[in-house]
A and B are shown apart, each in its own frame.
Chain A
Amino acid sequence: MNASPMKHVLGGLLILSFLGAVASAAEPSRPPDRVARGAYLVQTMACNDCHTPWKMGKEGPEPDMTRMLSGHPEGMPLPPPPKLVDGPWGIVASVTMTAWSGPWGVSFTRNLTPDPETGIGKWTEQNFIDSIRNGKIMGKGRPLLPPMPWPMYRSLTDEDLKAMYAYLKTIQPVRNRVPEPLAPEDLRAGAR
């Protein structure tokens, strides 16, 4: 694919509005309305735009829903990001929309599926809420990185965040170990 990153962003926003399917069946222990609310929020808040790898479909770029919300593909090593000339252009995304390079380094979108080893399967509801509220992994770890819009999402109510967590726990687990992010010094040192 040769489409520019911004085209991907715009394309994602457009396609997002057509993502209609609402949650799969809820687990018996979770109120179905909460799961459905979570599905609605996850889909309308563009989580798939970055956390689901994109592929080229018949109509152009589209999220690969067979890998829904599984983050940057483990088996997709990337070359160093292109070095941009000085100027207003400063952010580059992979064609999958799951790897982003900018002033902060390189970030890889996280696996949000309930896979216990590589996703958020072991996270508690509070871990999820704390991550969004504090902008840190599990509320205490390293900072969440751009383009994750947690500064906006942190204003969600507890009930909405609980609904999103409840929905994410119902989706198909995908085993996919996302790489660690890279800092600018890693890139200068050639770390990958």
Chain B
Amino acid sequence: MERGTWEGSRGGIVAIAIAVLAPPVAHADPDSPPVHLADTGLYSDPASHRVDARNLHYSPQYPLWSDGAVKSRWIFLPAGKAIDASDPDLWDFPVGTKVWKEFVFGRRVETRYMEKVSEQEWRLATYVWNDDETDAIRAPDEGIRNHAEIVPGKRHDIPGIADCASCHEGQRSQVLGFSALQLSRDRDPGAPHAEAVTPDMVDLTTLIERKRIASQPRDWVSHPPRIAAKSPVERSALGYLHANCGSCHDRSTSLASIGMLLRQPASADESQEPVGTTAVHQKGKFQIPGDAPGGAFRIEPGDPARSTVVFRMASRNPMRQMPPLGTKVVDAEGLDLIRRWISGMGSDVRVTAHAEEKP
């Protein structure tokens, strides 16, 4: 094998190993999600892609960057059941809850699916659309690499189940992007890639009014959650980090030991350590290539070029990129926001942001 050929398949050794060792697809297994997306209950009329009216359309105010995919999301809550929000950061969804997220890169490419089948278990799957968008079939457990073009030279990976689990499992709630802060009616106008809210969408207020959320400890209708920040740029930056980094970099996950907490709590709480202080002026293990050993600051106030958060956001080198999966294209808009936020910091900055109820 020629060396040049090997270089062209960078990362392939790891990928091949995953593929070889991954369990085989279990088609039509009664313990697995349906083989066809149409059988999950998303559509009332699959042929026309008409979504069943019982599935609630929603949009998080801080969307996860997915290489520019146009995304649509729906949630189904069993009739007469409500989400228990007594812990504002750990919503307890009723058994039977289903969640879908559709990815469009010029055409429908995949639709991801979660279903809560018992108090302890969620099932995860993703469905791959055919070229004429008439059917979507459950992807193999190991996913599909380089499935659809994103931009010239970059192709979208259909994630494997292990990839899905690496973000969704181990969370306070396995459903990401459907939370008090994300659904707040007090939406951040500066959020990168914010999606238009359409009349059919539900938000935190409508869910409470329809009694689909119960036992919430605070009056989120009068005081919708909002990130407390010193400036609009900071609010948006913290919201961006919350959505794109906070699902892993949170005290409740297995990565808590890293000590970088970027998830915003649903409500202000005097007892909680300010989230931003675990990154600002804090050294991590990562070294920027060419730097002397010793670790660099995760966020160096006033100097985005010396901030590892920025360096890793700006990379799509799989050895150092952040997020480490789910994206092959740098989010220029998000990166610009974080750079502007860091550039505007004074050397004595202390980020004390948390979500609060808007007065």
Q: State whether A182 touches B289 (Cβ < 8 A).
A: yes
| B-side contacts of A177, CB under 8 Å | 285, 287, 293-295
B21 CB to nearest A CB, Å: 5
In this complex, the interface size class of chain B, counting residues with CB under 8 Å from chain A, is 35 or more
Query: With an 8 A cutoff between CB atoms, is B39 at the interface?
Result: no
Q: State whether A104 touches B13 (Cβ < 8 A).
A: yes
B11 CB to nearest A CB, Å: 7
Q: State whether B285 touches A102 (Cβ < 8 A).
A: no
Q: Which of B47-55, B209-217, B318-326 contacts A (4 or more CB under 8 A)?
A: B318-326
Q: State whether A145 touches B14 (Cβ < 8 A).
A: yes
Query: With an 8 A cutoff between CB atoms, is B72 at the interface?
Result: no
| B-side contacts of A126, CB under 8 Å | 254
Contacts A118-B285, A191-B290; is A184 near B7 (CB within 8 Å)?
A: yes
Please indicate which of the listed interface residues A103, A124, A154 has the most CB atoms of chain B within 10 Å of its own CB. A103
Q: List CB contacts (< 8 Å) of B1-49 with chain A.
A: 1-4, 6-7, 9-14, 17-18, 20-21
- Distance of A74 Cα from B292 Cα, bound (Å): 10
- Distance of A88 Cα from B5 Cα, bound (Å): 12
Q: State whether B319 touches A142 (Cβ < 8 A).
A: yes
Contacts A105-B10, A143-B318, A151-B20; is A122 near B293 (CB within 8 Å)?
A: no
Contacts A74-B293, A142-B324, A151-B20; is A184 near B10 (CB within 8 Å)?
A: yes
Query: With an 8 A cutoff between CB atoms, is B347 at the interface?
Result: no
A99 CB to nearest B CB, Å: 14
Q: State whether A151 touches B254 (Cβ < 8 A).
A: no
B257 CB to nearest A CB, Å: 4
Query: With an 8 A cutoff between CB atoms, is A138 at the interface?
Result: yes
B2 CB to nearest A CB, Å: 5
Q: State whether A140 touches B17 (Cβ < 8 A).
A: no
A108 CB to nearest B CB, Å: 11
Q: List CB contacts (< 8 Å) of A92-127 with chain B.
A: 102-105, 117-118, 122-124, 126-127
| A-side contacts of B259, CB under 8 Å | 122
| A-side contacts of B21, CB under 8 Å | 151, 154-155
- Distance of A179 Cα from B318 Cα, bound (Å): 16
Q: State whether B17 touches A135 (Cβ < 8 A).
A: yes
Contacts A139-B166, A140-B166, A177-B294; is A146 near B13 (CB within 8 Å)?
A: yes
Q: Which of A74, A135, A142, A154 interacts with B318 by CB under 8 Å?
A: A142
Query: With an 8 A cutoff between CB atoms, is B180 at the interface?
Result: no
Q: State whether A183 touches B255 (Cβ < 8 A).
A: no
Contacts A103-B7, A104-B10, A146-B13; is A124 near B285 (CB within 8 Å)?
A: no
Q: State whether B14 touches A140 (Cβ < 8 A).
A: no
Q: State whether A179 touches B10 (Cβ < 8 A).
A: no
Query: With an 8 A cutoff between CB atoms, is B76 at the interface?
Result: no
Query: With an 8 A cutoff between CB atoms, is B286 at the interface?
Result: yes
Digitize A173-192: 1 where CB-to-B-CB distance is under 8 Å, 0 elsewhere: 00001011111111000011
Q: State whether A86 touches B2 (Cβ < 8 A).
A: yes
Could you list 23 examples of A-B contacts with CB < 8 Å? A86-B2, A86-B3, A87-B3, A103-B3, A103-B9, A104-B10, A104-B14, A124-B257, A134-B166, A135-B18, A136-B324, A138-B254, A138-B258, A140-B167, A142-B318, A145-B319, A177-B287, A177-B294, A179-B287, A180-B319, A183-B320, A184-B7, A186-B317
Known: A88-B1, A104-B10, A123-B257; 13 extra A-B contacts, CB below 8 A, are A84-B3, A103-B3, A104-B13, A122-B257, A122-B259, A124-B254, A138-B257, A140-B248, A142-B320, A145-B14, A145-B319, A180-B320, A185-B317
Chain B residues with a Cβ under 8 A of chain A: 1-4, 6-7, 9-14, 17-18, 20-21, 162, 166-167, 248, 254-255, 257-259, 285-287, 289-290, 293-295, 317-321, 324
By Cβ-Cβ distance, the 4 closest A-B pairs, closest first, are A103-B6, A151-B17, A122-B257, A191-B289
